[in-house]
Structure 1
Amino acid sequence: MRNTAKFTTAALAAGALTLGLTACGSGNAATDTSGPLIVAASPAPHAEILNYVKDNLAKKAGLDLQVQEFTDYVTPNTATQDGSVGANYFQNQPYLDDFNKKNGTDIVPVVTVHLEPLGLYSNKVKSLDALKSGATVAVPNDTVNEARALKLLAANGLITLKDGADNSATPADIAKNPKNLKFKELEAAQTPRSLNDVDAAVVNGNYALAAGLKPADQALVLEKAENNPYGNFLAVKKGNEDDPRVQKLAKLLTSPEVKKFIADKYAGSVVASF
């Protein structure tokens, strides 16, 4: 199931990449520093933050910014690697490390902007205690986010992970499961859609927002922001860190104006990391 879901993601990503290349045109977005900076991003909150910068800050800074949205976690990196886009904004360090290792890419972070706390949601219960024995919990099936989801459950006493469980942990790494929870591994984007079919689901912050969920109010539990390694950052192919367009965007993304925008718009569901 895990491998099948990954294959499906890759296949969908290939189709999305074709569309992305068409949208970008024939030039190389990463090397033509005289052209616009095209940034691949997840719709929420990444593209929303970028569009705020585009509409309110970029022109004054002399930056021609274009935002290209993707709904998967694969295409933004492959498009950045092949130069279809100049940068991306959607991921955290553990995910990027895993992606680079598995795909032979050399994408690097430029500046960390925000954290989207991962949360456990349910349409059927109002608290962790109300989860019954044998309940089914949906979790993302990509390597890093599945481990992150299991760590969230472990931090809140639902399961205990084996000693040494790391960023590649799966349900096979569960040492104790007192509620005998069952796990349904799904593509991350599908987890909010599963809420009517499972007892609870661990959902990434961007997909929660896109689904109309309010993490700060509706999540049964949320990740803690303090010392959290999953901050989301602007990333580029190695060697493009000093692109003046990238440097301008990095400065704008960590400006007081963006910090206020994040606080006002997301009310704790997304937290600035600077």
Structure 2
Amino acid sequence: MKKFIFITIFLITILGLSACAQSDENVIEVIATQIPHAEILNEAKTILEEQGYTLKVIITSDYYFPNPSVSAGDADANFFQHVPFLDAYNLENPNNQLVIGARVHIEPIGLYANQYTSIEDIEDGANVLLSNSISDHGRALNLLAAAGLITLKEGIDITSPNFDIQTSILTNPKNLVLKTDVSPDFLISAYNSDEADLYIINSNYVLEGGLNPLTDSIFIEQTTNNPYVNVLAVKASLLDDPKIQALIEVLESQAIKDFITNQYNGSVIPA
């Protein structure tokens, strides 16, 4: 009797482990911010289910734990960042680097204001609030330059992980005061609280805040030849995993491109 019980328990354990192993092979765990990343993944979920995969989306509003988590193997991939942000992470973590799995979309950043309705209205000495993420600083200054508010020094690489605001501006005729003391996810809250004159905010946070980047910004970034493509990031060792390849194929598919185009009406652009 005892032998029978032991064999039964052993078989149940083996079958359980086999089921877990099989499940792990078909479950894809991705860390993502809510809008548009998780929404895009949820659209991809149905397509992946048809291929026998279960996509689990782990929602975060934090920019700084998804890369270490994927590097540590706590998730299969993440989907929240643009290429320069990933480059900056890889530079700082040479032993735990991630690679690009898929290039999915572009979220144009915009210039927002509560008291101004156009670039021409901006007063001398206006405060400009941008994120404390260095990987966004060159992008923010490039936006101000495109709006004609500043000029940048020749040869400046706006995507550099070591971009330096102080040494990059050539002229600042309106004497704009740049502030970089707010994390990216708090910029929309600062805007709603009227903490500055101008705000440079990424479209994902604008959308999460219930605003429309195309109509609520006073100036918005061009998307042609834009280097700030949002990507799926994975460990290099997982890049050839069948489930990761399936996820990449879906995220780069025409079906997802059409979803992005139809869902966001220009606020988010397929890559």
TM-score, normalised to structure 1, is 0.84
Q: How far apart are residue 66 of structure 1 and its match? A: 0.3
| Aligned equivalent of 2:183 | 187
Instruction: Indicate if the aligned counterparts of 1:42 and 1:71 stay in contact, CA closer than 8 A.
Output: yes
Q: Quick one: distance in 2 between partners of 1:69 and 1:124? A: 33
Runs (5+) with no aligned partner, structure 2: 1-22
Q: How far apart are residue 226 of structure 1 and its match? A: 0.8
Runs (5+) with no aligned partner, structure 1: 1-31
Q: How far apart are residue 34 of structure 1 and its match? A: 1.5
Instruction: Indicate if the aligned counterparts of 1:150 and 1:169 stay in contact, CA closer than 8 A.
Output: no
Superposed counterparts of 1:216-255, under 5 Å: 216-255=214-253
| Aligned equivalent of 1:198 | 196
| Aligned equivalent of 1:177 | 172
Q: How far apart are residue 114 of structure 1 and its match? A: 0.5
Q: How far apart are residue 172 of structure 1 and its match? A: 4.1
- Aligned AA for 2:127? T
Deviation per residue, 1:101-123 (Å, 9 max, x gap): 11333100011011001111111
Q: Quick one: distance in 1 between partners of 2:177 and 2:60? A: 30
Root-mean-square deviation (CA, aligned residues, Å) is: 1.4
Deviation per residue, 1:147-176 (Å, 9 max, x gap): 211111112211112233323132442221
1:260 alignment partner, SS class: helix
| Aligned equivalent of 2:141 | 150
Superposed counterparts of 1:67-86, under 5 Å: 67-86=57-76
Mean CA deviation greater in 77-86 or 149-158: 149-158
| Aligned equivalent of 2:106 | 115
| Aligned equivalent of 1:135 | 126
Deviation per residue, 1:233-254 (Å, 9 max, x gap): 1110122111111111111112
Instruction: Indicate if the aligned counterparts of 1:33 and 1:245 stay in contact, CA closer than 8 A.
Output: no
1:211 is the counterpart of 2:206: no
Q: Which has the larger radius of gyration?
A: 2
| Aligned equivalent of 1:6 | none
TM-score, normalised to structure 2, is 0.85
Instruction: Indicate if the aligned counterparts of 2:32 and 2:79 stay in contact, CA closer than 8 A.
Output: yes
Superposed counterparts of 1:154-169, under 5 Å: 154-166=145-157, 167=160, 168-169=163-164
1:57 alignment partner, SS class: helix
Instruction: Indicate if the aligned counterparts of 2:26 and 2:53 stay in contact, CA closer than 8 A.
Output: no
Q: Quick one: distance in 2 between partners of 1:113 and 1:66? A: 18
- Aligned AA for 1:62? G
1:124 alignment partner, SS class: coil
Q: Quick one: distance in 1 between partners of 2:26 and 2:47? A: 18
Mean CA deviation greater in 170-179 or 120-129: 170-179
| Aligned equivalent of 1:43 | 34
Instruction: Indicate if the aligned counterparts of 2:89 and 2:97 stay in contact, CA closer than 8 A.
Output: no
Q: How far apart are residue 33 of structure 1 and its match? A: 5.0
- The size of the alignment, in residue pairs, is 241
